[in-house]
Amino acid sequence: MDAVLPNRVSVLSVHTSPLEQPGTGDAGGMNVYIVQTAIRMAQRGVEVEIFTRATSSELPPVAELAPGVLVRHVAAGPFEGLGKDDLPSQLCAFTAGVLRAEARHDPGWYDVVHSHYWLSGQVGWLARDRWGVPLVHSAHTLARVKNAALAEGDRPEPMVRVIGEDQVVAEADRLIGNTDIETRQLIELYGADPSRTVTIPPGVDLERFRPGDRVAARVALGIAPDAVVLAFVGRIQPLKAPDVLLRAAAELLRRDPGLRSRLVVLIAGGPSGSGLAEPTALQSLGASLGLGDVLRFLPPQSGDGLVQVYRAADVAAVPSHNESFGLVALEAQACGTPVVAAGVGGLPVAVADERSGLLVPGHGAGEWADALGRVALVPGRRDELGAGAVEHARQFSWDRTTDALLDTYADAGAEFAALQHRLRTGQPAELPDGALAGLIDR
């Protein structure tokens, strides 16, 4: 029996809007994930409505992201001045806005709720019960995992988040892990039901991110064609560890002072999270390490600008202390740029060690200088890994991710409908093999 695909999906993204520019504030890979999968669902005939908190009085109540994809801005608390840690106090107001939007329609308007991050999961839990539809949840990051691998000086995730994640895990009809590692963490650290937990890797836009002219990209960025370019793309905060790249670059220059005339350390992103407390800390670190003449900062990039950064780089560095996956690594590889990444979280899946890049077991300057030098300073090796990077990235696509999500929605919907039928008819919770299909067919 084929499960039925949903007609309309409610997507919840409380703390960050899909309309925001990734790379600064709270906008990052999750925003890319929501946008890319929502557009592709709409292309398959599934309507998508994304609920996010309004952060400006100038935002329209409803905006069209793409044909078939609406973004609903929900008023919940003051428009500005609220950080992510302040949002639990506004979940009641946000939930009320979500439920009121649905109440304007006939019953059964949405077929499934997909919540992203634990704050959205709290809202999705209540919407699921009110609307009588299944809740699918993507954590994206997990507090217990983050707290076990904190960067120096970073704040641990609060207990309210840990408890909130426990609750969402217990209530969700399906939990989605980006990798088998994250799926295992949900089961082992949060007691998730293995039968309700699935692994769906994120994707990459293979039409946008593809190999191109490296020299032309460098010219566009004002970088010499023969430069050695080490790039970091993402939010500037301790978790993402851009300081590791700077310390490694300083070590490379200590080993070979002659490299200074060619080295460019390119940072594309903006302060985020605990990095907002010291928005110029990375610039200050660069100055103290003597990198002022080789360090280049760019604001968060989108579209062709982001592609140019990847193409211009000899190597992209992803030194995070924790990553549930690491979309930057995939995007860079799709452009033919090898990646040197920390061997944490989902990065060993995003990067094929010794084939599309290198994985570094720690965060020491010496070991990172070794890895970066093995790639960026050995042209033949760089080209070999670049070819492997393109091949590896082609295994991932947003179309595959979207198809897997729709299958998961359909499975969750079929199981949810069967459970509701059993509850209405007073049948036992456990049914013999084959009975579930018979109930759904009714």
Is 296 labelled a binding residue? no
Angle between helices 159-171 and 180-190 (to 10 degrees): 100
Angle between helices 242-255 and 281-288 (to 10 degrees): 10
CB atoms within 10 A of CB 363: 19
Is 31 labelled a binding residue? yes
Q: Could you tell me if 141 and 39 are in contact, meaning their C-beta atoms sit under 8 angstroms apart?
A: no
Helix and strand numbers, DSSP H then E, in the chain: 16, 14
**How many angstroms separate the Cα of 192 from the Cα of each of 103, 166, 213, 429, 431?**
31, 9, 46, 19, 22
Bridging pattern class, strands 135-138 and 112-116 = parallel
User: Rounded CA gap, 235 and 232, in Å?
Assistant: 9
User: Rounded CA gap, 111 and 74, in Å?
Assistant: 20
Q: Could you tell me if 16 and 55 are in contact, meaning their C-beta atoms sit under 8 angstroms apart?
A: no
Cα angle value 439/440/442 (rounded, 5°)? 70
Query: Which 8-state DSSP code applies to residue 236?
Result: B
Is 240 labelled a binding residue? yes
Is 28 labelled a binding residue? yes
Residue type, 207: E
Is 155 labelled a binding residue? no
Is 310 labelled a binding residue? yes
Angle between helices 327-334 and 29-43 (to 10 degrees): 70
Is 124 labelled a binding residue? no
**How many angstroms separate the Cα of 231 from the Cα of each of 29, 240, 328, 376, 377?**
17, 13, 11, 11, 14
Bridging pattern class, strands 8-12 and 339-342 = unpaired
Is 146 labelled a binding residue? no
Is 47 labelled a binding residue? no
Is 159 labelled a binding residue? no
Q: Which two tokens stand for residue 52?
A: 């996010």
User: Rounded CA gap, 233 and 345, in Å?
Assistant: 18
Strand-pairing partners, residue 357, are 339, 353
Is 214 labelled a binding residue? no
Long-range pairs of 364-367 with CB within 8 A, sequence gap ≥ 24: 365/244, 365/247, 365/248, 365/250, 365/251, 366/251
Is 161 labelled a binding residue? yes
Is 331 labelled a binding residue? yes
Is 110 labelled a binding residue? no
User: Rounded CA gap, 334 and 178, in Å?
Assistant: 18
Binding-site annotation, residues for Mg(2+)? 310-311, 313, 337
Binding-site annotation, residues for UDP-N-acetyl-alpha-D-glucosamine? 21-22, 29, 235, 240, 301, 323, 331
Binding-site annotation, residues for 1D-myo-inositol 3-phosphate? 15, 26-31, 84, 117, 141, 161
Binding-site annotation, residues? 15, 21-22, 26-31, 84, 117, 141, 161, 235, 240, 301, 310-311, 313, 323, 331, 337
